[in-house]
Structure 1
Amino acid sequence: MKVQAVARTGAALPSDALSERWNIAESTEFAITPGCEYIVFGITCVSGLFWYYILDDRNLGYPVWHPCALFEVKDGTIPSWWIANYFPHYLNERSGVSIISFPEWAADALFYEKLFDGDSAALAAFNVEVERQSSI
């Protein structure tokens, strides 16, 4: 799946995407470049909003979530190997999170944290996915 950035600030988001909890205000600048394409490595829905996990302009080595309203879908094909999952009580006792991504991520509620922390198995799985999607 590929998306193209159309905006980079919170001012382009619907009001329900602005959130003190997520530190997103109209003045928030996201590390994306309008006009550039990005590969989507996961899609999540949190509090009724969809987010794309992409390798943004900071080149952190792991994907970062960005509100989907900042993008236009260029190729909406979901990879055939991706799966969907739901983790209840992920954020708190009353709120869960949905994820659509490659199996290693979608099957493990802690995969993103492992990736962020530099876990070798998580990084290896992610790098396989980067290679796989880059060849499409």
Structure 2
Amino acid sequence: MKIECISKSAITLPVDLIRPELGLGRDRIFSLITGKQYVVYGITCYLGHLWYYICDEDYSYYPIWNPAPLFRITDNRISKYWEIGEYLIGSSEIIPIISFSEWVQNPIFYDLLTDREQSAVQTFIKYKKLIDEESNIIDQDDAQL
């Protein structure tokens, strides 16, 4: 699945996504390039909207979630590596996750990944390569990892 950035400014987001207490104020500028296509590595739903996990312009070793209203879908093919699951957030909120098996099956996978836990990082690198190849995009920087 590929998406194209149509805006990097939170001012274009729906009003119900503007949450300054969550870092989503009207003045927020996302680390995106308008007009650039990004490969999607996971999808979730939060605050009533889809969010795409992509390797944005701040990408170092893990994907960042960005609100779907900042994008348009340019390739709607779903990755053959994806599964769907759900996580309990807090004591009562359940959110879906669509991504590769290790992420879907382990509710703390993303936390492990962002904490640089080696097996989580290696797992993401493996799936990033597979999904990029599937999407016909190979990032030369990641090929050196």
Partner AA of 2:13 in structure 1: L
Query: What is the aligned length?
Result: 134
TM-score (norm 1): 0.94
Q: Which residue number corresponds to residue 52 of structure 1?
A: 52
Q: Which residue number corresponds to residue 142 of structure 2?
A: none
Q: Which residue number corresponds to residue 21 of structure 2?
A: 21
Measure the CA separation in 1 of the matches of 2:132 and 2:84. 21
SS in structure 1 at match of 2:126: helix
SS in structure 1 at match of 2:112: helix
Provide, for residues 54-89 of structure 1, a one-character-per-residue CA deviation record: whole Å limited to 9, x for no partner.
00101221100000000010111111221000112x
Q: Which residue number corresponds to residue 143 of structure 2?
A: none
SS in structure 2 at match of 1:77: coil
Contact 1:5 1:72 in 2 (8 A): yes
In structure 2, runs of 5+ residues without a counterpart are 135-145
Match of 1:104 among 82, 102, 105: 102
Q: Which residue number corresponds to residue 77 of structure 1?
A: 77
Please list, as runs of the form range in 1=range in 2, the aligned pairs for 1:1-136 lying within 5 A after superposition.
1-88=1-88, 90=89, 92-136=90-134
Contact 1:84 1:100 in 2 (8 A): yes
In structure 1, runs of 5+ residues without a counterpart are none
SS in structure 1 at match of 2:128: helix
Measure the CA separation in 1 of the matches of 2:128 and 2:37. 15
TM-score (norm 2): 0.88
Measure the CA separation in 1 of the matches of 2:51 and 2:21. 15
- Sequence identity of aligned pairs in percent? 30
Higher helix share: 2
Contact 1:8 1:32 in 2 (8 A): yes
SS in structure 2 at match of 1:4: strand
Contact 2:18 2:24 in 1 (8 A): yes
Cα deviation, residue 5, structure 1: 0.4
Measure the CA separation in 1 of the matches of 2:118 and 2:53. 20
Partner AA of 2:8 in structure 1: R
SS in structure 2 at match of 1:56: coil
